[in-house]
Amino acid sequence: MSSPHFRIEHAGNCLLCTLRGKWSLATDIQYLATLAEETKSKKGQAYILIADIRSWQPPEPELIEKVVSPLQFDSRNQQGEFWLEDEHTRADYIAQNLKPMKNASLIRSRSPSDLLTFVSENCVKETYQGVAKWLQNNNYLMNSESSDIFA
């Protein structure tokens, strides 16, 4: 199985989060702390969070509860959130317990074309190419790792 990892990148007005592998509580804490710092860097700027969570396996709900409750994200400027999933995604518990966003809602899809449509309709124009390149890189990595991920 691939080792757990994450990456957070910027493209225009978007934070692009890539989450892979089977996560432990330690990985989850590290990701959430990094995400909190990245959202702080967007202070005063509208942004959209896009997460590619294909092949991501979060820690068990009981473990997540211990971490998520005390963490507070300043999401006043968050204008939306999109999760790109696959048939193995187990993120329902997390989605159900997300604090509702003031300015937007969570969109979940298995379709990369839905993601690109969402970006073209909701993000600044300069963002589209960056997201398309990020998605292309992630698709390439998914194809090259797919034999390791669910072995």
Distance spanning both ends of the chain, measured CA to CA: 6
83 phi/psi in degrees, rounded to 5: -110, 125
Percent of the chain with pLDDT over 70: 85
CATH of domain 5-145: 3.30.750
Those residues whose C-beta lies under 8 Å from the C-beta of residue 77, and which sit 6 or more positions away, are 42, 43, 44, 45, 46, 47, 103
- pTM here? 0.86
Cα 118 to Cα 114: distance, rounded to the nearest angstrom: 6
* Domain spans, the chain: 5-145
Nearest to 82 by CA among 113, 51, 45: 51
pLDDT at 146 over 70: no
Q: Which two tokens stand for residue 47?
A: 């942004």
Instruction: Look at residue 88 in the predicted model and tell me its pLDDT.
Output: 85
Bigger pLDDT: 143 or 64?
143
Residue type, 86: D
